[in-house]
Amino acid sequence: MAFLSHLFKSRNDDRAPYRPLWHRIVELARDPRWFAPAARDGGGIADTVAGRFDTITLVLCAALLRMEREPALMTPSVRVTELFVDDMDGQLRESGVGDLVVGKHIGRLMSVLGGRLGALREALAAADPAALEEAIARNVTLGEDGRPARIAALLRGLAGSLAQVSAEDLLAARITLP
């Protein structure tokens, strides 16, 4: 009997405390202000699968860059990234990508995330605002008449807002898109 209870016992999900933050990141990435058709002044990210992925990675990168500042947030940043991978895995499978190639797709998506994280880290730290606009132009699927400056301003606002948030509030998903 002990064997069966051990075999079927529920496993503790060490990512559970970070799910609210992941869900909030996705929620912020779905804000209409990011996207071309809904943007009041136009010039947003394309409202496509690729554009939505780009928006999720932008918001996730902003959160991860904020978490980098505090060593105590290293484990939470890893767990949030794992939740990103799980979510993308599920999305790929739902869209019909077969089991044999999901891993390759996830590897590519992680490579994209890593590249954007590096590009945005440098661009947000740069004194010249054009650096972030250039990073957006290179890394984001913009809509028709897309304006990198508009997305850069939104991202810079988000990064600034996250910089003011305590670690406790960040982990509790009390973050906003200004």
Q: Over the stretch 42-76, which tens digit does the pLDDT of each residue have?
A: 679 998 888 999 999 999 999 999 999 999 999 99
Q: What tokens does 114 get?
A: 């890593």
Three-state DSSP class for residue 178: coil
Q: Decide if 89 is inside a domain.
A: yes
Q: Answer yes or no: is 9 within a domain.
A: no
Place of tokens 């995330």: 113
Half-sphere exposure (Cβ direction) of 34: Cα atoms closer than 13 Å = 27
Q: What are the φ and ψ backbone dihedral angles of 142, each rounded to 5 degrees?
A: -85, 155
Token couple for 146: 């897309």
Tell me, yes or no, whether 11 lies in a domain.
no
Q: What is the pTM of this model?
A: 0.86
In the chain, how many domains are there? 1
**Domain membership flag for residue 44:** yes
- Is 56 inside any structural domain? yes
Q: Which residues form the domain of 48?
A: 17-168
Domain membership flag for residue 127: yes
The structure tokens listed for 110 are 């992680």
**Domain contains 46:** yes
Q: In this predicted model, what pLDDT tens digit does every residue of 154-174 receive, in sequence order?
A: 999 999 999 999 999 999 999
Tell me if 174 is assigned to some domain: no
